[in-house]
Structure formats: structure tokens, C-alpha cells
Amino acid sequence: MTHPTRTSADLASPSLSSRPSLGGRPSLSSRPSPGRRTTPRLIATDLDGTLLRNDKTVSDRTIAALAAAEAAGIDVFFVTGRPARWMDVVSEHVHGHGLAICANGAAVVDLHAGRRVIRVRELARPDALAVAQALRAAAPGVSFAVERTGGIHYEPGYPSFPQDPGASYAPVEELLADGPEGHHAEPVVKLLAHHPTEDPDAFLTLGRKAAGSHAEFTRSSPSALLEISGRGVSKASTLALACEERGIAPDEVVAFGDMPNDLAMLTWAGTSYAMANAHPEVLLSTTHTTASNEDDGVATIIESFL
């Protein structure tokens, strides 16, 4: 089995476009003044709770809006916490470049090539082990899953996902072990930590306090489920690289999201929209609000540009 080339958080990996890399590390610090109502060059949208309806479908109105944006020369990037194998819900709706940013920025996926992972920003094994050790001490009862490029693997106590049959089960130390073949040879893109009783937001705060020096912590689930990526890896940093390689400035980007894992991207983009159904922190952090995912909030804004 051939695996994508591993890269570290310094982003020294293959280009996301046919254009030559502009070099250097993408800047997340500059943010333009909000409020300009010009046609963007790139639309970045989250999926669950944002573009997708609650039944995980894309409405006809949204399909038409995405196609119209691409026809108008606007790049559309799906930027999601989902792994590559869960991108079938939108694979046919990415035109042009065909790329999506998955696993909260840890993987770039070519949806035109069978959801092939073309770039990985992995979570280093020593950091993942340090996180697991720290969370076990800080939150007894926590259980872990390890997301690699080829699939997910669970500790026995972790509530597994029914759409991922055939995963292996073992203590997290074994799941994170490196090896020459099988899933142990695949890069780690995310560590997932679940707690059965913690408040979701409080658990995120606890995780960052206990092990924030080793990894990036975020959440997108209504339960106490932490999504843990390599240092410096986020939706925003990977999107920034894609835009830099295309010569697109932050103020030419419009972003949509609903949960804390979208915050970095929404803050980086020149114009940001929180869905009406968004987490309270997201509603406070964006320049604009649109209708809910059930009411085609993303399509409404795309139509206003076109």
C-alpha cells in the first residue's frame, strides 16, 4: 500500500495547486476590515452543521449555488473535521481543483481521484502519547481513538463510529505504535479523546490546559469529544497555505462555520459567516451571521455574490 508523503507542521509538502509555492509559512495574523460586499475569490465552508443539512444531505439549492460559484471562477473549498473516507456526501459537488481540506487541516484530499490524500500534516507520535498521558491524569475515564490516513482505530472503551467497520481495538499506546506495514505505517492525522460525563466546553478547556503545549485541541461534536491535531495544524493554517499558493489574500476569502473547530478559519478569513445554529462562541467571533444549515444559509450568501 502506498501512503502519502509525511510532512511536519512546517508545511514542507507538495503544492496544493499547479501554481508554484510562494514559499514561507502562511500568515494567520493579518485580518482585513470586515464589511466589504465584493465577490470573493475563494469560498471556504465547513460541512456538518454548515453546508450539510441535519440529515447529511446537500440541498438542491446549495448544489446549484456551489456550481454557480465555480462557474463564476470562485474556488470552493470544503474545510471539515471529517476524514477523507467520509467525503462521499460532497465529492461530486467540488468542481475545478477538486480539493478538500479534511481532519481539521491535517489532510488535503483530492475528491476527483477517489478521495486520495495528497498532503498530510501529521500528529507526531511522541506528542500524541504525551497528550494521552496528560488527559488520563487530568480526566479519569477518558478513552481514545487514533485517526490515521487509512482509517480509525479504537481503545476498547471508546464509542466507535458505526460507519467505520473493521477497525482495530487496542490501548492507545499500541494504536500509536509505528511499524513497517499495516496501519502502523500510516501517519496519524488526529487523536480523539472522549469522556462520558464531562461538559464539552469544559473538557476542551481542560485538554488545552493539560496538554496544549503538545498539540492543537478543538471540538465539533455535541458530546465531550476532543479532536487533537499536530502543533500548528488547523483549518485556518492549511487553508492559508492553499490561498497563498493561489495568490489569494485573506480579504478575498469568505468562510462559513458553526463550531469551535471553525473559529481559527473564521477569524483568519476576511469575511466570515456564522450559521444561525452556530455555537455561541462562533456567533460572537464572526463578522456576519446567515441562516441555519437547514435553511440553506451558505447558498443564500453565495447567491448574493452572484
CATH number at residue 268: 3.40.50.1000
Confidence bin at 185 (pLDDT 50/70/90): confident
How much is the mean pLDDT over the chain?
A: 87
Q: What local confidence, expressed as pLDDT, does residue 137 receive? A: 98
Domain boundary among 200, 229, 258: 229
Cell numbers that stand for 241 in this block: 497555505
Residue bearing the bigger pLDDT, 16 or 160: 160
Contact 118, 104 (CB under 8 A): no
**Does one domain contain both 149 and 286?**
no
User: According to the model, what pLDDT value does residue 192 have?
Assistant: 98
Q: Which domain holds residue 165?
A: 125-229
Residues 136, 47: one domain?
no
Query: Nearest 5°: CA angle at 259, between 254 and 261?
Result: 80
Q: What is the mean pLDDT of residues 199-212?
A: 98
Find all residues with CB under 8 Å of 27, minimum gap 6, and list them.
240
Higher pLDDT, 2 or 262: 262
192 & 247 share domain: no
Q: Is 239 within the bounds of a domain?
A: yes
Please give the pLDDT value at position 2: 40
Confidence of residue 271 (pLDDT cuts 50, 70, 90): very high
Residue with more model confidence, 57 or 97: 57
pLDDT of residue 182: 67
pLDDT of residue 12: 35
161 and 251 inside one domain: no
Q: Which amino acid is at 24?
A: G
- The reply to whether 185 falls in a domain is yes
Sorting pLDDT into bands at 50, 70 and 90, what band is 162?
A: confident
With a CB cutoff of 8 Å and minimum separation 6, the contacts of 71 are none
Tally the domains of the chain.
2
Stated pTM of the model: 0.86
Q: 227 forms bridges with which residues in the sheet?
A: 192, 218
Highest mean pLDDT among 6-10, 84-88, 289-293: 289-293
Q: Is 40 helix (H, G, I), strand (E, B) or coil?
A: coil
Q: What's the confidence (pLDDT) of residue 14?
A: 40
pLDDT tens-digit series, residues 88-113: 888 777 766 688 999 999 999 998 87
Residue 300 placed within a domain: yes
